[in-house]
Amino acid sequence: MSDLIQLTKDGDIAIITINNPPVNAISPGVPEGISEAIDQISKDASVSAAVVIGGGRTFIAGADIKEFTKMTSGKAKTGPGLLSLLLKIENCSKPVVMAIHGTAFGGGLEVAMSGHYRVAAPGAQVGQPEVKLGLIPGAAGTQRLPRLAGVDKAVEMCTDGNPVKAPDALKAGIVDQLIEGDLLKGAVAFAREIAGKPAPRTRERNQKLGTPEQNAPIFAAARENVRRKQRNLIAPLAAIDAIEAASTLPFEEGCQVEAKLFIDCLYSDQSKALIHVFFGEREVAKVPDIPKETSTIPVNSAAVVGAGTMGSGIAMVFANAGIPVLLKDADRTALDRGLTNIRKNYAASVHRGRYAQQAVDERLALIKPTLTYDDFTQADMVIEAVFEGLALKKEVFGELDRVCKSGAILASNTSTLNIDEIASSTSRPASVIGTHFFSPANVMRLLEIVRGKASSKEVVATCMQLSKRLGKIGVLVGNCRGFVGNRMFHPYVREAVFLVEEGASIEAVDQALYNFGMAMGPLATNDLAGLDVGWRIRKEYRHLEKPGIRQAFAADHLCEMGRFGQKTGAGWYKYDENRKPSPDPEVAALTKKWSAEAGIPQRQISAEEIVDRCIYALVNEGARIVEEGYALRAVDIDITYINGYGFPAYRGGPMWYADTVGLKKAYDHISEFHRTHGELWEPAPLLKRLAAEGRTFADLDKQKVAAG
């Protein structure tokens, strides 16, 4: 038998233990081993029942995701998979009890459901998370789960993919009993009790499947819910179709429907993109010149300078991670406002049921407001979030240099300023780094970690590690203007404004990109962030722009009118007191007038062109960033855009999207824009090269990983 599976006995009860650390994934060898064990116990007259249990910390946590990629790239077979094993377990003449601790996710739950009974440790969790990878369960999960839990619960689990805790799984009928204490002992006792009694087969349990009349509203509501909350996604709809098949067709036919839908999803661009994102989120933690063993600085206390929008959010991030944090502002009113906002924010979380009052009280107790630097000597890390101005930041860092202990990390939340320049105001540039949080800091997952030329490896490694502790995805970027995210966002919004100046309506621009999958259109995003932010930056850097290059003017004119976006009740849109936007005919008329004055011909612009102009602007700038080394890999840009800029995960990020479209096609589009719209569209040399060689950004990343 495969050494991944052990077969032992406790009297008349056979025990099948899965030992495929760390999470007992269903890698090659696991199904074969279980199958052999089932054959043996079937033949063994001294066995009256069997228990299947996971060795180590979990039952089967799921499929081996690499196997999916192998299937679509032709390196592994997409055969009947687990299905035949599950039938064998279900047909076993001895009752099989699945004993679940840790997690039984995906294929793990499908295996568990093929047993005749399931018992679970109270802390265990079950789930069908395939949808998060653009897939549906492919080993009869959509057929057995509704038979155990009912159609409604199965639809919920297969469309949202979220885990279900053992007590809820018991209530739903997915598990038969919870076992306190020793799970194996309890499972063996359970097996002994049911041995010899007729064993229920899940596939024959049809009582919970309901009638078409009962189910019709459930499916209709679920489809509507998916269309609203999981916009453009195909896997959750496929999961509903498969469960509907379970409720109307015999088991075998239902399995065939599931198999077809599974294959459709597996080969879809969406699933490939989501699997790319899954691995990408792990990849970005790796920094080639900073090995895993690099020593890190313990961060047990922190301090934040500036209690504004960002500073107060960042203080919450530390408190949420259980790290005590000082929150300093120069101004008492600003400090009080920051604290009020923090309290309001936590109160809203309690109201929504996200946190218990006690948890919030504990967090609030970790945030210590102050108007002085007196206690800063204690802090292991300081994050500066004062107004965006170089002189002010340098002054603050000079002060931090004087008061902070040696070895403390001095980080800036600047979104545009030069980290090396800031570091130069201290005597310890090796301790200085950028930690660029995104607004709202306590919500957004992205943390851009900006490596200065002097930042030490320990400081970089600490921030990368800390990002996980703070519940963020840390992406390491180089120190260039706008770093990675905002550097790319600039041409993206620029094109959106150009399109308006060329005759597209504001709503058409936003709608096209929203339909593409962006969380918000670029102009609505602009209004949310504040039009004045970009305006100030443009003014500051205008002297660096090459003369004769087209400049967008509409946003600047809006700012000159005091229309800064949501915060002033008007920007590209107008806003009511609840910040609900509506189109503003005045702005539509003004943009027409400004364009006429500037001599820009007006034309009909298709949604397709809007998407191409904005998204290829991201891709072209992204290619430059990769080539210049400011992002370590193309996938780092993808993860940045998905977690910080609302790019749809099911398109894999801008660079993966370009790969999917084909780099030759992307390059041709960009070259065409170069011809018609001028110098700003000069194709990035890397894009040109990869397109000519028939390669992709993903190929380039692989090559880098291979080179270490």
- Window 399-418: residues binding ligand NAI (CB under 6 A): 413-415
437 vs 498, beta carbon nearer ligand NAI? 437
- List 306, 491, 565, 683, residue binding ligand NAI (CB under 6 A): 306
| Residue 572 φ then ψ, to 5° | -65, -35
Taking the complex as a whole, the smallest distance from the CB of residue 522 to ligand NAI amounts, in Å, to 15
State the CB neighbour count (10 A cutoff) for residue 301.
18
- List 101, 118, 147, 328, residue binding ligand NAI (CB under 6 A): 328
Classify strands 164-165 and 125-127 as parallel, antiparallel or unpaired. antiparallel
Classify strands 117-120 and 446-451 as parallel, antiparallel or unpaired. unpaired
Report the C-alpha gap between 250 and 376 in whole angstroms. 69
17 vs 467, beta carbon nearer ligand NAI? 467
SS3 assignment, position 96: strand
Q: Are 309 and 419 in contact (CB under 8 A)?
A: no
Per 3-state DSSP, the chain is made up of helix, strand and coil in percentages (nearest 5) of 55, 10, 35
Question: Residue 22: is the preceding peptide bond cis (ω within 30°)?
Answer: yes
Classify strands 13-18 and 5-10 as parallel, antiparallel or unpaired. antiparallel
Should residue 334 be labelled a site residue for ligand NAI when binding is judged by CB under 6 A?
A: yes
392 vs 600, beta carbon nearer ligand NAI? 392
* Beta bridge mates, 182: none
Taking the complex as a whole, the smallest distance from the CB of residue 631 to ligand NAI amounts, in Å, to 18
Taking the complex as a whole, the smallest distance from the CB of residue 350 to ligand NAI amounts, in Å, to 24
SS3 assignment, position 603: coil
| Residue 578 φ then ψ, to 5° | -95, 15
110 is catalytic: yes
141 vs 530, beta carbon nearer ligand NAI? 530
265 vs 444, beta carbon nearer ligand NAI? 444
The interface region with ligand NAI, picked from 182-190, 265-273, 322-330, 626-634 by CB under 6 A, is 322-330
450 vs 626, beta carbon nearer ligand NAI? 450
Please, which residues have CB within 8 angstroms of residue 261's CB and are 6 or more apart in sequence? Answer: 136, 238, 239, 241, 242
115 vs 311, beta carbon nearer ligand NAI? 311
Should residue 329 be labelled a site residue for ligand NAI when binding is judged by CB under 6 A?
A: yes
441 vs 499, beta carbon nearer ligand NAI? 441
399 is catalytic: no
> Tokens at residue 485, please?
């995210």
Catalytic residue among 110, 258, 384, 502: 110
Should residue 331 be labelled a site residue for ligand NAI when binding is judged by CB under 6 A?
A: yes
Taking the complex as a whole, the smallest distance from the CB of residue 401 to ligand NAI amounts, in Å, to 14
- Of 72, 32, 37, 66, give the one whose Cα is nearest residue 51: 37
Residue 277 is classified by DSSP as H
Q: Within 13 Å, how many C-alpha atoms sit on residue 514's CB side?
A: 12
Taking the complex as a whole, the smallest distance from the CB of residue 434 to ligand NAI amounts, in Å, to 10
Number of residues that bind ligand NAI (CB under 6 A): 26
Q: Within 13 Å, how many C-alpha atoms sit on residue 570's CB side?
A: 12
- List 131, 133, 310, 317, residue binding ligand NAI (CB under 6 A): 310
| Interface characters, 416-445, with ligand NAI (x: CB under 6 A) | --------------------xxxx------
Catalytic residue among 36, 67, 90, 130: 130
The interface region with ligand NAI, picked from 25-33, 360-368, 386-394, 591-599 by CB under 6 A, is 386-394
Should residue 683 be labelled a site residue for ligand NAI when binding is judged by CB under 6 A?
A: no
Please, which residues have CB within 8 angstroms of residue 542's CB and are 6 or more apart in sequence? Answer: none
Report the C-alpha gap between 466 and 470 in whole angstroms. 6
- List 80, 122, 308, 478, residue binding ligand NAI (CB under 6 A): 308
Q: Which residues are catalytic?
A: 110, 130
Interface with ligand NAI (CB under 6 A):
305-311, 328-331, 334, 385-388, 392, 396, 413-415, 436-439, 529
